[in-house]
A and B are shown apart, each in its own frame.
Chain A
Amino acid sequence: MYNHITTKEIAALQAICGNANVLYGDAISPEYAHDELGDIRVMPEVVVRVSATEEVSAVMKLAWEKTIPVTVRGSGTGLVGAAVPIYGGILLETTKMNQILGLDPDNLTVRVQPGVLLMDLAAFAEENDFLYPPDPGEKSATIGGNISTNAGGMRAVKYGVTRDYVRSLTVVLPNGEIQTFGASVAKNSSGYSLKDLIVGSEGTLAIICEAVLKLVPLPKVSLSLLVPFSDMKSAIEAVPEIIRSKTTPTAIEYMSRDTILFSESYLGKKFPDTKNDAYILLTFDGNTLEQVESDLSTVAELCLDLGALDAYIVDTEERKKSVWSARGAFLEAIKSSTTEMDECDVVVPGNQVDTFIKYTHQLAADFGVRIPSFGHAGDGNLHVYICRDSLSDADWEKVKADCFDRMYEKAVALGGLVSGEHGIGYAKKEYLRRQYGDTPIALMQGIKKVFDEKNILNPGKVCF
């Protein structure tokens, strides 16, 4: 159904992007065959490093004409195989399109290319006294990848997710046509939101080549609170009470002692406190110290009433770094603690977090495997990892499948969804299909066909 790359296409791609930016044969690093989780591996036939929207357009015109599959890749930090070229063909890498094109302080927006790293965008915004609120843990992800998965991150409790900050997108459609969806405006009731269809579509509908993103004024004060509990049950049970307190923390993260110890070992850096079994980490921000301290005190008192053993104040850059750098390394830390792992990124209603976490503990006991987790307790998005450790190939596949089946079933039963922020990609398609059923999947397939009737853009992902 798809055509393969021949020397003719290689020459055409070299003419578009320059010889140095077209990799084929042995020049393709095995890294291009997989994403961060690594268990789905397919080598592309050619890697193209694009530098401009016009190049993307020319590549897509060629691919459309020749019916060659194209998969877009940013930093390759995805966790569900969305950037793996399942059908070979062209892997189009956007990391060279990494320019911040301009700040618009009048409209509170920034215009960026898709290869800009989240950490660079965050730093740029702060240097200009603004905040780009979406804050996923993987700071070396590209903003194009963040938009493609509608990444959320740690500040979602107060600020929302990536979708809430995308004003417009300039994209290349599968046939090579360049289009801009949305505009640098605050309101938009102008027909179907094509921009919002692209957000979270995991590179299946169009290739993001430019984005206008909303910024907010940088809050003047930000304080965190690390609250230790004697067990995870008490910690998680405190979260709905915190939400009810109307103090609007920007982040409510939960973490277990085990996960913190993995992080210590991975980073070679001690965490400020590891004496207790479970912790909640909260952040508060605002424009006056009095207001932020008042919120912090309200929650600290509430937590102490609910059985917290203390509430540690994280108020300086050094303290924030010591706590949040560990939090940012949890995924890598768990990964380095085992031989192989797979992840579940379910999202459940906030008041069901406790039930779901307890369920994962029960599963771990039933199946005799480690299932560490951490995540965004405040918005119900949990990152749960099944660790292979010393299991044989056959046992691992079976345990993994059984645990995932049960976890996704439980999430759905609790009113949750398959993915909170990592996406569906290739790995979670079956669970999406099971949850949504025929009609929603058929609607998604219909949308995909309208954008890409030849199904050349990231085929085999999300709903196909």
Chain B
Amino acid sequence: MKILTCIKQVPGSNNVEVDPVTGVLKRSGVSSKINPYDLYAIEAALALKEQFGGSVDTITMGPPQAKAVIEEAVCMGARQGTVLSDRKFAGADVLATAYTLAQGIRKCGQYDLIICGKQTTDGDTAQVGAEVAEYLGIPNVANVLSVDGYRDGKLQLTVSLDEAVICEEIALPCLISMDSDVNTPRLPSYKVKRTLTDDVIRFLSFADFEDQNPDHYGLSGSATQVERIFPPEKVSEKQTVTGDAETQAQTLFSLLKQRKML
């Protein structure tokens, strides 16, 4: 089974500040890492490869330094990866990102299965996976809890629908987006890291793509108009519930209900 995982480089900490004037994340000087949700996708892909054979490749879009996430995926067990990097891709919303990824994936070859994470920790939109599938013209399933089997060219999946869990079957080629916390991602290997060479990474730019219309990429290709980005207001309210166990439980229940959390 030829598997491709779509991954993204995100800030290494959740405490990244937002520039109050430009509304852009202050990334300079901040460490970076693979989007934690994508680690579940990589783990699912590597487990499938171990079970059914084949290969796992990765793809990402970002500045040249995004190659670090490809290297990390290789240290986890992936074979190789592609970085889609070009100034023309900058400022892309989910639609333009998905289009760019779809263009890149076409250039990388034929894959039986594409696996994405649920969402990213910096954007939180959770739409790229489905849109990539749409652009590639293949079926997709989101919120996958587990891949339970593979027979007759079809995957058997367990999928969360928030209020229900269903079992589905989907024919390859297809795209699936893994839910969060569905596995324990393996750790990157130092042994692989110390032997890494640039051979495992390929860079593709706008010039390599089939569609040469720049209006389909980056800010120009984005349908979303961002008016303002701002950090959520920090509220630190503390209330102590006292009394015996019965009273505490009742008070807590009323409080949660009052705040519409129940």
Contact = CB atoms under 8 A, between A and B. Distances in A.
Nearest to B181: A269
A270 B13 CA distance: 24
A226 B184 CA distance: 15
Contact of B191 (A272, A304, A314, A315): A304
B30 interface: no
Interface in A261-297: 269-273, 289, 296-297
A143 interface: no
Nearest to B36: A318
A225 B193 CA distance: 13
Given A300-B190, A304-B191, A311-B191, A316 B33 contact: yes
A322 B12 contact: no
A304 B39 CA distance: 26
Contact of A312 (B13, B36, B39, B187): B187
6 contacts: A297-B190, A312-B186, A313-B187, A315-B33, A316-B36, A318-B36
Nearest to B184: A270
B20 interface: no
B191 A273 contact: no
Contacts of A322: 184-185
Interface string B26-53: 0000010100100100000000000000
Given A270-B183, A270-B184, A322-B184, A311 B189 contact: yes
A310 interface: yes
Given A312-B186, A316-B12, 19 more contacts: A270-B183, A273-B186, A273-B187, A300-B194, A301-B194, A310-B190, A311-B190, A311-B191, A312-B190, A313-B75, A313-B187, A313-B188, A313-B190, A313-B193, A314-B187, A315-B188, A317-B14, A319-B185, A322-B184
Nearest to B192: A310
A312 B13 CA distance: 21
A226 B183 contact: no
A323 B187 CA distance: 10
Nearest to B190: A311
Contact of B185 (A225, A272, A296, A317): A272
Top 8 A-B pairs ranked by shortest CB distance?
A: A312-B187, A311-B190, A270-B184, A300-B190, A310-B191, A313-B188, A272-B187, A318-B36
Interface of B: 12-14, 31, 33, 36, 39, 75, 183-191, 193-194
B190 A319 contact: no
Nearest to B14: A317
Nearest to A313: B188
B181 to A, nearest CB: 9
A281 to B, nearest CB: 11
Contacts of A319: 185, 187
Nearest to B43: A272
Contacts of B183: 270
A269 B184 contact: yes
Interface in A309-348: 310-319, 322-323
A273 B75 CA distance: 14
A307 to B, nearest CB: 13
A318 B189 CA distance: 16
Contacts of A301: 194
A428 B186 CA distance: 41
Q: How large is the interface on A (under 10, 10 to 19, 20 to 34, 35 or more residues)?
A: 20 to 34
A68 to B, nearest CB: 28
A269 B183 CA distance: 9
Interface of A: 225-226, 269-273, 289, 296-297, 300-301, 304, 310-319, 322-323
A66 to B, nearest CB: 30
B190 A225 contact: yes
A208 to B, nearest CB: 24
B184 A272 contact: yes
A225 B190 CA distance: 9
B227 to A, nearest CB: 31
A121 B62 CA distance: 40
Contacts of B185: 272, 318-319, 322
A271 B36 contact: no
Contacts of A312: 186-190
Contacts of B184: 269-272, 322
A318 B121 CA distance: 12
Most buried by B among A226, A269, A273, A311: A311
A317 B39 CA distance: 13
A72 B33 CA distance: 47
A54 B50 CA distance: 65
A167 to B, nearest CB: 29
Contacts of A318: 36, 39, 185
Contacts of A273: 186-187
B112 to A, nearest CB: 26
Contacts of A296: 190
A323 B185 CA distance: 11
A272 B76 CA distance: 11
A118 B186 CA distance: 30
B254 to A, nearest CB: 22
Contacts of B33: 315-316
Contacts of A289: 31
A228 to B, nearest CB: 10
A49 to B, nearest CB: 13
A300 B189 CA distance: 10
A319 B33 CA distance: 11
B131 to A, nearest CB: 26
Nearest to A289: B31
Contacts of B186: 272-273, 312
A226 B36 CA distance: 19
A300 B186 CA distance: 17
Nearest to B39: A318
Contacts of B193: 313
Nearest to A271: B184
A316 B186 CA distance: 13
Contacts of A269: 184
Contacts of A315: 33, 188
Most chain B Cβ neighbours within 10 Å, of A273, A304, A311, A316: A316
Nearest to B193: A313
A253 to B, nearest CB: 16
Contacts of B191: 304, 310-311
A30 to B, nearest CB: 16
A304 to B, nearest CB: 7
Contacts of B13: 317
